[in-house]
Amino acid sequence: MPDTRRKLPIGVQTFAHIISEGYYYVDKTPLAWRLAESGKYYFLSRPRRFGKSLFLDTLKELFEGNEPLFRGLYIHDRWDWSIHHPVIRLSFGGGVLHSRVELDEKIGELLEDQQRRLQVTCTHDSLSGRFHQLIQGACEQTGQRVVVLVDEYDKPILDNLTNRETALAMREGLKNLYSVIKDADAALRLVFLTGVSKFSKVSLFSGLNNLLDLTVSPPYSAICGYTETDVDTVFAPELAGLDREEIRRWYNGYNWRGEPVYNPFDLLLLFSERQFRPWWFETGTPSFLIQRLTERQTWLPALGQLESDAELLATFDVDDMPTEALLFQTGYLTIDREELLGSTYFYRLRFPNHEVYQSTYNSLLRAWTANPQAEVRNRKTLYRLLQAGDLSGLKELFQAFFATIPHQWYDNNPISRYEGYYASVFYSYFAALGLDITLEDATNHGRIDMTVQFEGGIYLFEFKVVELTANGSALQQIKDKGYAEKYRALGQPIYMIGVEFSRDSRNIVGFEVGAG
């Protein structure tokens, strides 16, 4: 059988390059055809490195009528190739802007580039005036309505979220630009804006309330990303030698109320390097996200079990960023299930996959501990202790860890001031190893704080803060409640571990182990 492998489009965002240079391409033109035929104004929020730029470039080539590029694709025999629309494409993806002055300069440069490309002369001085002239001029010059594509529409704001005044200034600058779209309706064929976040229409789009938000629209759930079918068909030549179930566990699971998808960047790097690693996560975790979770004293074990309604999930602005919306829109959580109760849609959120689950806790743990190098050593030691069944060593490891945290770090870090900090860090070590963990595991007699299943053994953890609880040890509670009964039928060794923390001593003061 001949080798049918093709080039992997790692980092390639140009549709013409992918098609003409023999790269793998997942045909997204059925969705392009659907949106082109059914509407005019669209908005899409997706996490970074999900293929948003490639989809916009596909739309550009489509509306410009570059027929040869689409031969063999779904849309080829359905599209009128005799019509060539002028396309204005603006992208804020490159570089970091630090002020409103820099933003206005950037917008001016983008408009000048489009003027030259479309051979339209603009005489107005204001940016909004020039943008409007560009749209009108392109329409009049070609006799066809204009397509406007905006990539990374929100990046100038997101890059400055740690500086509220600058972020607000960026928002106003972009609002000034996007407000032009509303008044140019007669000259427009299609408008498509993409970004990571979904800012309020009121705060950013100045009356452009007719944008159809595709973010959680089931028919468009797979508009970016690769589906299971894509992996098994388009990328079939790459699967040899890789565990298909591991591919699914590591990278599948992003869901926007429709068909779940893989992050393209993850799969392409996996196929290239033949290793299961957090490829997407390693490209950069926003420090702003870690900072916000810390400031809000987020209870780490609950991250993958957050709940929201549709309104909260769509809420995002400079002064209003709920934790659920922040994690969902940046791709660290995805929709697990949807419920309609009365007239309100509620969502249960979860980690998309193993990569995001393990890497999120890894990053948070590193940010919440004083010595990153020691934290790495501790994780490695923890895994080896579990392999050896050395539970007394586990006690010594965590006691040594808490003892090394400087007192001034407790004083300066808000997360350390609440009672859940100790159990949260303890839990994060296990999660950062990617272990099989169940939180608040329900039994007939109550809920176990944490259950870990590892290499044929079951570990039941109960946590207490001694200053806040009544008499009775954590281990005794496991025994009294009969928590181990749920697992006896599995025939595996059961270890009951009671861990007691003290806010006064800032350490573990009790660590008892019992066999189940």
**What is 376-412 written as a DSSP string?**
HHHHHHHHHHHHHT-HHHHHHHHHHHHHTS-HHHHHH
Question: Tokens at residue 321, please?
Answer: 């960023």
In terms of Cα–Cα distance, which of 50, 64, 52, 85 is closest to 151? 52
For range 69-78, the mean pLDDT: 98
Mind listing the pLDDT tens digit for each residue in 395-436?
888 887 777 665 544 555 555 555 566 777 778 888 899 888
| DSSP structure string for 86-154 | -EEEEE--SS---SHHHHHHHHHHHHHHHHHHHT-----SSHHHHHHHHHHHHHHHHSS-EEEEEESTT
Mind listing the pLDDT tens digit for each residue in 371-398?
778 778 888 999 999 999 888 898 888 8
What's 82's DSSP letter? T
Rounded Cα distance between 201 and 315, Å, is 10
Share of the chain above pLDDT 90, in %: 58
What average pLDDT does the chain have? 88
Question: Tokens at residue 170, please?
Answer: 């960026």
Q: How many CA atoms lie within 13 A of 425 on its CB side?
A: 26
Question: Tokens at residue 30, please?
Answer: 């059925």
Rounded Cα distance between 46 and 60, Å, is 19
Q: Could you give all domains of the chain from N- to C-terminal order, each with its CATH number?
A: 27-220 (3.40.50), 285-354 (no CATH), 369-515 (3.40.1350)
Check residue 202 and give its pLDDT: 65
Q: Hey, what long-range contacts does 313-320 have (CB within 8 A, 24 or more apart)? A: 313/216, 313/347, 314/198, 314/213, 314/215, 315/200, 316/197, 316/198, 316/199, 316/200, 317/199, 317/200, 317/203, 318/157, 318/161, 318/164, 318/167, 318/168, 318/171, 318/203, 319/164
Intra-chain end-to-end CA distance of the chain, in Å: 55
For range 283-287, the mean pLDDT: 71
> Is residue 305 predicted with pLDDT exceeding 80?
yes
Q: Determine contact, residues 107/177, Cβ cutoff 8 Å.
A: yes
Rounded Cα distance between 481 and 38, Å, is 59
Rounded Cα distance between 49 and 286, Å, is 14
Provide the pLDDT confidence category of residue 255 given band limits of 50, 70 and 90.
very high
In terms of Cα–Cα distance, which of 508, 483, 513 is closest to 498? 513
User: Bigger pLDDT: 493 or 507?
Assistant: 493
**Other CB atoms closer than 10 Å to residue 385's CB: what's the count?**
17
In terms of residues, how long is the chain?
516
Angle CA 384–253–441, to nearest 5:
55
Check residue 293 and give its pLDDT: 77
Share of the chain above pLDDT 70, in %: 91
Rounded Cα distance between 297 and 414, Å, is 7
| DSSP structure string for 262-302 | B-HHHHHHHHHH-----TTGGG---HHHHHHHHHTT--GGG
Rounded Cα distance between 459 and 465, Å, is 20
Rounded Cα distance between 189 and 187, Å, is 7
In angstroms, the Cα distances linking 24 to 17, 156, 168, 184, 267 are: 11, 32, 41, 38, 12
Question: Tokens at residue 88, please?
Answer: 């204005």
Check residue 73 and give its pLDDT: 98
Q: Which segment of 123-137, 415-429, 469-483 scores lowest on mean pLDDT?
A: 415-429
Provide the pLDDT confidence category of residue 458 given band limits of 50, 70 and 90.
very high
Task: Give 219's contacts (C-beta < 8 A, 6+ positions apart).
Answer: 31, 34, 258
In terms of Cα–Cα distance, which of 156, 154, 115, 147 is closest to 134? 115
> Is residue 43 predicted with pLDDT exceeding 70?
yes
Order of strands, sheet of 494-502, starting from the edge strand that comes earlier in the sequence: 436-443, 446-454, 457-465, 494-502, 507-515
Question: Tokens at residue 358, please?
Answer: 């393990």
User: Bigger pLDDT: 321 or 17?
Assistant: 17
Task: Give 417's contacts (C-beta < 8 A, 6+ positions apart).
Answer: 297, 410
Q: What is the pTM of this model?
A: 0.89
Residues 355-377, buried b or exposed e (16+ Cβ, 10 A)? bbbbbbbbbbbbbbbeeeeebee
Provide the pLDDT confidence category of residue 103 given band limits of 50, 70 and 90.
very high
Provide the pLDDT confidence category of residue 314 given band limits of 50, 70 and 90.
confident
> Is residue 475 predicted with pLDDT exceeding 70?
yes
Rounded Cα distance between 362 and 430, Å, is 10
Residue with tokens 């030259």: 116
The one-letter amino acid code at 10 reads I
Question: Tokens at residue 27, please?
Answer: 């045909």
Rounded Cα distance between 265 and 268, Å, is 5
> Is residue 447 predicted with pLDDT exceeding 80?
no
Q: Which segment of 14-18, 302-306, 483-487 scores lowest on mean pLDDT?
A: 302-306
Q: Which segment of 136-150, 173-187, 195-209, 303-317 scores lowest on mean pLDDT?
A: 195-209
Q: Hey, what long-range contacts does 471-480 have (CB within 8 A, 24 or more apart)? A: 473/498, 473/500, 473/510, 473/512, 474/498, 474/499, 474/500, 474/510, 474/512, 475/512, 475/513, 475/514, 478/448, 478/514, 479/514
User: Bigger pLDDT: 436 or 207?
Assistant: 436
Residue spans of alpha helices (H) in 285-353: 287-295, 310-313, 323-329
The one-letter amino acid code at 476 reads Q
